[in-house]
Structures are given as structure tokens and as C-alpha cells.
Amino acid sequence: MTAAVAPFAVSLFAAVAFGRPILRWLQASGVRQTISSDAPERHAAKQGTPTMGGLILLAGTVCGTAVGWAAWGVSSGGALAACAIGLSAAIGALDDRLSLRRGTNLGLKAREKFALQVVVALAFVAGVALIGARRDQTIVAGLDLGSAYWPLAVVLIVGLSNATNLADGLDGLTAGSAAIASAGLAVMLSSGSGKDVTVLAAALAGGCAGLLWYGAYPALVFMGDTGSLAVGAGLACIGLVGKLELPLIVATLPFWAETLSVMIQVTVFKWRKRRHGIEFARAHRVFRRAPLHHHLEECGVPETRIVARFWLCAAACTALGLAWHLGLAR
């Protein structure tokens, strides 16, 4: 458990300590968010808030991980997961920078971002397969998936990275929910032998928690794609290296719900548009606005209440994931 507590504390305090100078640098550099036209009208007041706050999260995570790995060592699996987090953050940073340069909320095209995410996921999965860190790597819940495991692993990484990105629409929603899920993974891993992966999970949790010092409502800085893409990829890669695939999916259900709401909205809209026309489709949407957190806003639920309830759901799902893990371990 020490391998989880110490990196978490170091990461949290480092994120808070580095957060102020990073925030000043972002403000001086004019790195400010352009609010999407798809967001509720009340979000117009957030126009100009500094973005790329994921740098604060990453600074804390790096410090916590470095301290932990210096004390307990690092394996190839943990190093691969850390590289995947860094590369995903680089994709997010590129997306954020392009958005800033264009003065819109649109950076990389969807297919460009997706292609880069797939490349990172493929590189990570290939690395895990080549090092052969675990003989039971392709076994999930007692079922050997064989070669099918690897494409499913890619889907998990890309899917969760996009899910955390979609959820990053309210102050502190993604950071808080991810902190809870990461901490849960660290607890699950602490009972095993992979201390380096435990360190990484705990440090990621601390970095997310530290970002809340500046990103909780009303946010002084937004996480941006720099942080949201890295967090999702990090959770997925840690879960894969630590053989926690199913508990991970359970712990991150709030993020998957956000993705599902978008998929339902887009699919039904296209179907109704084809059957009944654009006006009918616009007037008969499944959700008032997607993702799910924006629908709740449109229903009149205050932002802070939505975020708090997402955190509670994340805590409940993480507890269920932990219970699942304990049940499988017996």
C-alpha cells in the first residue's frame, strides 16, 4: 500500500506547487479556450479561460511516478504505459494548439485524431505482446481470448481515451472522476507484485486530484485535450498491464455512459433525418444535448451538482470494480 500512498501524495502536492507557475505561463502565452457552439449558452461566460491545464496534471504525475520508481523500480510494462500516457498527451497538446491557432474549438480533424490514437494504442499493445510480461495476458475472467485480445485492447485504449475527452465538458468532472478510478486501480494493484504499475496509477490519481485545486468550479484552467486524452489512455494501459480489464471497465462506467449518450444521439438523429427529414430529426432528439452532462444541464441541473453526482457515480462504480477484482482473485 505504501507504493500507492507515497506517489499519490507526491503527485498531488507537486501538481498544486507547479500549477501556479504553469497557469501564469498559460495566461501570459494567451492559451485560452474557445467555447464550442455546441455547448449550452451558459458556458459563454467561460470564454477565455486558460486551457491545456493537463500540463499541471502531467507535472504532478511525472513527479509522483519518478519518486515511486526510484524507490521500487520499474518494469517494461510500466514504462510502456507511461510512454502511452505521454504520447496521448502530445496528441492532445497538438489538438489544443491547433484550436488556439485557428481561434475555434476545432483542432485536429476527427479522423486525424483517431488515427493518431490508434497508432499509439497499436504501439503499446505491440510492445506488451513483444515483451511477453505475463503468460496470462490474453486471459480475461478465466477465458483465453487468444489473438482476439489484442484488437480488443486497442479498442479499450482508444475508446476510453475518447470517453474521458467527451466527459471533459464541466469544471472538474473528468479530473475528479479519473482521480477516483485511478486511485481504485492503485488499490487493486497494491495487493499484487507490480509495484511500478501501482505507482503509476497512484501518481495519475494524485495528478488528477492536484489539478482540481485549479480546475474545480469555477475553473481557473481547463484540462484540455492535453489532459483528457492522456488520462483515458493512462487508465486503459494501466488496466491492461495490471490485468484489470473488467474491473477497469466497471470503474469507468460514467465515462462510457458519456460515450454511449453521444452514440445514441448521433445514430438516432441520422436515422430520423433519413426517414423523416432534418427538421423532424432536430425536433425529436433523444437527448436535449449530448454528451450526457450537457443534457442534464439543459434539464436545469446546476453544474456543480452534476459534477458531484458524477463523482459519486465514479466512486460507486470503482467500489464495484474493486469488489469484482476481489471476487475474481479468490
Residue among 210, 233, 293, 207 at smallest CA distance from 86: 233
Contact 128, 241 (CB under 8 A): yes
Work out whether the CA dihedral 231, 250, 160, 162 comes out positive or negative: negative
Query: Within 10 A of 289 (CB to CB), how many other CB atoms are there?
Result: 19
What pLDDT score does 132 carry?
72
The grid cell for 14 is: 507537486
List pLDDT tens digits, range 261-310: 999 999 999 999 888 889 988 888 999 988 999 999 999 999 999 999 99
Taking each helix axis as running N to C, give the angle between helix 224-241 and helix 195-215, from 0 to 180 degrees, rounded to the nearest 10.
160
Q: Where would I find the beta strands (DSSP E) of 99-247?
A: 139-140, 143-144
pTM of structure: 0.94
* The three cell numbers locating residue 180: 477516483
Backbone φ and ψ for 139, nearest 5 degrees, come out as: -95, 125
> Is there a contact between 211 and 19 (Cβ–Cβ < 8 Å)?
yes
- The grid coordinates of residue 112 equal 486525424
Q: How many CB atoms lie within 10 A of CB 86?
A: 16
- Dump the DSSP string for 200-223: HHHHHHHHHHHHHHHHSSSPSS--
pLDDT one-digit tens code per residue, 27-81: 888 777 766 666 666 766 777 788 899 999 999 999 999 999 998 888 888 999 9
The angle, 0 to 180 degrees and rounded to 10, between the axes of the packed helices 173-190 and 303-329 is: 20
% of the chain beyond a pLDDT of 70: 94
Dihedral sign for Cα 258, 259, 265, 268, please: negative
